[in-house]
Chain A
Amino acid sequence: MNTNKNNGNTARNNRRGAIDYASRRAFLKAFGAGTVLSPFIPLLDAQAQAAPLRLIVITGHNGWGEASKWYPSGGGTSFTMGSTCNSLEPYKKDIIFFKDFEGRYQSDEAGVHPMASANLLTGSPATRPAGGTIYERQDATRATSISIDQHVAKITGKSTRHESMIMGCGAEPFSAGDHIGGSVSYRGASDPIIAEADIFLVFDRFFAGAANTMVPPSGAVNVRAGDERSILDAVSKNLEWMKGRVGTEDLRRLGAHLEGIRSIEKRLPPLGQDDGMPVPVSGCAAPTIPAKSGTFNTRQAARFLPAIVHAQIDIMLAAMACDLTRVGLVQIGVTTGLWPPSFMGLTNTLHDISHNFNADMSRFTQRTLQEGFGYLLKRLNEVKDGADPMMKNVAAFWTNEFGDGDAHQGSPMPIIAAGQAGGKWKTGRYVVFNGKRKHTDFLLSVGKLFDPNLSKFGSDPSAGPVAELAG
């Protein structure tokens, strides 16, 4: 049980700063309170409320390496993980390991990599322009519809401060050849989201930073929010003005910008009102992340992948515990991938490894599963929604645009599901399909968890839900 007497102490003592205005909102929302917190409203423990369902996606890239090391042995509820997936062995009870999905909308033309990753979560064929050399066309490869994480985020985002948290480790396009087309998350056709690598920026966005500076100490007049409001108003007016003066392609981008402005406006406290007092919610605290010092570089996946991915997962789960968002994605690496995973002593680039060093590809997949999906499963058992582990209220999955990366084959496509999805998924099983299941079937199933009336997702008219998820 929490009361407003212990106002902020634990949170303020946190190394990275106080739980801010955001948590207060989440807190207020959880109790159905209005914008003004009355001291007379009895304060309940946040966990007394039913925990919401969240979606977590972790992606690997360039395939799984050696097929022989990929699959578990045994079957049904009695199975042993293959050596590539050995880090998941302690969490077998929480997963459904599938053999296998058929990847839909595969392409076999040159420069297929970004086409495959654009198709992965959207379930639609990718597109690219005709001009330039193959490198330029790869850069310009785009998905043609929204990805499942963003589809869900549009639904769950109505109830949370942030629609989603899309992060990546070594997934950013640092240079030509590291394709924008390597994005897996799309807000819509030709609208990729570049996964954010910088854990400090994500931390600040969710737990301090912009929101914090809008929030004055208790009792002060909220000057900053007044400024923000008048700036955003001017920006909105200008966007509207511009919208009347550009072509349809550009209009789309101005519209999205305006949407961003509106979502920021919504987070501002009412004019003139002191709405800045941080309020702690039990079980909701800013995560501890690595210090911003030394040689640690949050954009240098090659060297620091484990620390970066752990921090990203910690930030995601902390934000979910506070109900700041219900959709999170961590993209580990990128299709093609021009950096070498030197953190584990490998000196060739990801792309070279996927084509020329199959044993190393297995090692890389093993290690990134361990640091990514394995770590996620560990933490989902530790982080609580009240008495239950968060695992119970999560639908998570790991996937990869290729099974056999060397051959650029998206079929079979690996998908490992995890979490009980609020009771809808029956975990602890190794499922070998009797007949074919397409990856678009799985995407539809995930969508239906959040949108029960969903009948079609992506471009596949014949996709149907994967019944095996429920047992």
Chain B
Amino acid sequence: MVKMLRNHGSFSRSALALMVSFSACSGASTGGENTPGDLPGDEDPDVPVETAGCKTNATFVRSPMRRLTAVEFDYAAADLFGEAGATGVELLPSDEITAGYANNSVITLQPNQVEKFQSAARRIAEGTVTRVDKMVPCPGDKEKCALDFIDRVGRRAMRRPLETEESDLFAKMYRDKAKATDHAQGIRLIVETMLQYPSFMYRPIVGVETAKDGVRKLTKWELAGRLSFFLWNSVPDDELMESAEAGKLETPSGIREQTERMMQDDRFDRSLKAFSVQWFDVGAIAPDKNPADFPNFNQEVWGSMRDGLAQFFAHAVRNGGDMTTLMTGPFAFANKKTATIYGVPAKSDTLELFDTNPAQRGGLMTQAGVMAALGNTEVSRPIKRGLFVRNRLLCQDPPPPPPEGVPPFEAAGDNLTVREMLEAHRADPTCASCHTFFDPPGLAFSHFDGVGQYHEMEKGKKVDASGTLIDTDVDGDFTNAIEFMNMLKDSSLVAACVSTQIFRFAIGRLEEDGDKCAQEATVKQFADSQQSLPGLFTSIATSDSFRFTGSETP
């Protein structure tokens, strides 16, 4: 298995291609050649795969309709109408987070939020007036070009061909407007309408009945949309729509072919970013830090940390990384704003790849953005970090909140290190039962302060980051974050949890009993592929949970 290609400062497409074809072979449990028709489910693509050894009586649950997230709206507008960043993402309604990921699957739009989309659509559409000839190249009859534009772009925007009535309505709107004003204004009106069009803004998954009761198969158009938003955070391109139209997304192998193509496209970075910052809960707005302790920390530094985290993850996936890369890879993307924090000689405003000191920093958890998000305003934050490891890396439930009368751990004394306070706290048996569970995985990161900088000393004492991990499949002692993450990289619990996180991002809901067999198959394929990260994306995209849905929530 090829590991990280460390000499590549930018994403290596060839390395990815190599990994993808490799994972495609080994990821297929039939072990056949990398040709369409070799995946489980290819033979009878219209019903879920019967996996040997996996039985569940539960059926798939309905996938709730999702509204585009703010960044999806922006990316889609850029892909369709060619001006990135025109939306003003911060002016759109806040995204609703469920299952840890923004997917807007419950909340209804209030009138004021509808108005926000109106305004965004207007801003973007007005921006197209001066570049209409570039957006709709038209040497001949302008009306004909406009009608072609409506059908071609409309199909991608709505992820289905326009109905005749819709096509006619858009055509009439264009004609009336062009007649009253001009061609550019006619196109502007179409752009403005499409961006507010519910078929653009919402992603319903309804599916069609299958031979199996309660199981519905996604239509080819729904599948194309789900795939493009999973892998690109945006609408499909023409090729994906053509492949859907030709029926090629009906089988797992057909989906795999498109998935592999799409993962080599630059647009894949958007999803890798969206996923990684949400997985690690690193939001757009800087966490508040005490300026007395961190005078140089601000929104710009935070932005660099956040992008650096996303690039770490993207680099790992793009270069065919595995769990070792994710959990321990001794590298970081830094610029001059984050150079000191990482202890690297970055001089540029642009993020660049640097080796980090492998004895100090490695893997996603030790990226500055993660440590800062999970850091206090002043000191390192072991409980928050420990709970995060339990919840987001191990997918474990934390114990119930503290019973009444538990003293604050700061009560132990002012001059103590955080570890000493926690030790005093754990000496109380009522506290110990929970804190032995989540303190150690947090204390492992004691060397990292509130903005993620590495320190050997805390309050004049040498930092002690040792501890004992319990209640996992890799229990044992560690002395620091590096050792701790080296334990986690071998954990099947963590590997399965990574798969679960990507599942939630892809499907837009929590996993349910009906997903059990599909999830187990994905986890097995991940293990069989020697934990190929790109292979994991492919496995999820070709899994039954991705291809099928239920009728209504049971």
Q: What is the interface of chain A, defined by CB distance below 8 A to chain B? A: 110-112, 129, 131-136, 139-140, 142, 162-163, 166, 172-177, 180, 187, 190-194, 196, 201, 205, 209-210, 213, 227-228, 230-231, 234-235, 237-239, 241-242, 245-250, 252-254, 256-257, 259-261, 263-264, 297, 299-300, 302-303, 339-340, 342, 347-348, 355-357, 406-408
Contact = CB atoms under 8 A, between A and B. Distances in A.
Given A192-B107, A250-B65, A407 B97 contact: no
Given A132-B99, A194-B94, A340-B377, A234 B197 contact: yes
Contact of A110 (B163, B197, B400): B400
Nearest to B109: A257
Given A194-B96, A242-B199, A254-B202, A174 B283 contact: yes
A132 B118 CA distance: 35
A136 B99 contact: yes
A408 B510 CA distance: 27
A302 B376 CA distance: 13
Q: Which of B98, B198, B199, B401 has the most CB of A within 10 A?
A: B198
A-B pairs, 9 with minimum CB distance: A256-B108, A356-B408, A260-B114, A250-B65, A302-B288, A260-B111, A131-B510, A347-B377, A110-B400
Nearest to A255: B108
A150 to B, nearest CB: 10
Interface in B369-402: 376-378, 391, 395-398, 400-402
27 contacts: A131-B510, A135-B398, A140-B99, A174-B284, A174-B285, A176-B100, A176-B101, A176-B278, A180-B107, A194-B93, A194-B94, A230-B176, A231-B189, A234-B173, A238-B198, A238-B199, A241-B166, A242-B199, A246-B206, A247-B552, A249-B62, A256-B109, A260-B114, A302-B288, A340-B288, A347-B376, A356-B409
A323 to B, nearest CB: 17
A303 B288 contact: yes
B107 A191 contact: yes
B394 to A, nearest CB: 10
A231 B204 contact: no
Contacts of B290: 342, 347
Contacts of A111: 401
Q: Which of B107, B192, B281 has the most CB of A within 10 A?
A: B107
Contact of B106 (A142, A238, A247, A303): A142
Interface in B278-309: 278, 281-285, 287-288, 290
B512 A131 contact: yes
Contacts of B400: 110
A134 B288 contact: no
B553 A249 contact: yes
Nearest to B200: A238
A112 B402 CA distance: 12
A235 B198 contact: yes
State the majority secondary structure of interface residues on B.
Answer: loop
B115 A205 contact: yes
Place the interface of chain B in its size category. 35 or more
Contacts of A163: 111
B243 to A, nearest CB: 23
Contacts of B107: 180, 191-192, 194, 253
A357 B193 contact: no
Q: Which of B97, B189, B404 has the most CB of A within 10 A?
A: B97
B192 A227 contact: yes
B461 to A, nearest CB: 21
Contacts of A339: 287-288
Given A135-B398, A187-B110, A234-B173, 11 more contacts: A136-B510, A173-B97, A192-B106, A227-B177, A231-B196, A234-B197, A238-B197, A241-B163, A250-B65, A253-B107, A264-B111
A277 to B, nearest CB: 22
Contacts of B21: none
B84 interface: no
A210 B118 contact: yes
B321 interface: no
B116 A300 contact: no
Contacts of B110: 166, 187, 193, 256, 260
A180 B97 contact: yes
B169 interface: yes
B410 interface: yes
B109 A175 contact: no
Given A238-B197, A407-B404, A247 B109 contact: no
B491 interface: no
Contacts of B283: 174-175
A190 B106 contact: yes
A139 B108 contact: no
B301 to A, nearest CB: 14
A272 to B, nearest CB: 12
Interface in B158-191: 163, 166, 169-170, 173, 176-177, 189
Contacts of A250: 64-65, 202, 204
B288 A342 contact: yes
A135 B288 CA distance: 22
B551 interface: yes
B360 interface: no
A57 B469 CA distance: 47
B64 A187 contact: no
Interface in B19-68: 62, 64-65, 67
A176 B97 contact: yes
Given A140-B98, A176-B281, A133 B118 contact: no
A162 B551 CA distance: 37
B397 A196 contact: no
Nearest to A172: B94
B288 A252 contact: no
Nearest to B99: A136
A454 to B, nearest CB: 24
B122 interface: yes
Contact of B109 (A210, A260, A406): A260
A205 B112 contact: yes
Nearest to B383: A352
Contacts of A241: 163, 166, 199
Given A235-B197, A242-B204, A263-B111, A247 B551 contact: yes
B91 interface: yes
B552 A235 contact: no
B264 interface: no
B324 interface: no
A408 B551 CA distance: 38
Given A210-B118, A231-B193, A237 B108 contact: no
Contact of A213 (B108, B122, B206): B122
Contact of A264 (B114, B202, B378): B114
Nearest to A239: B198
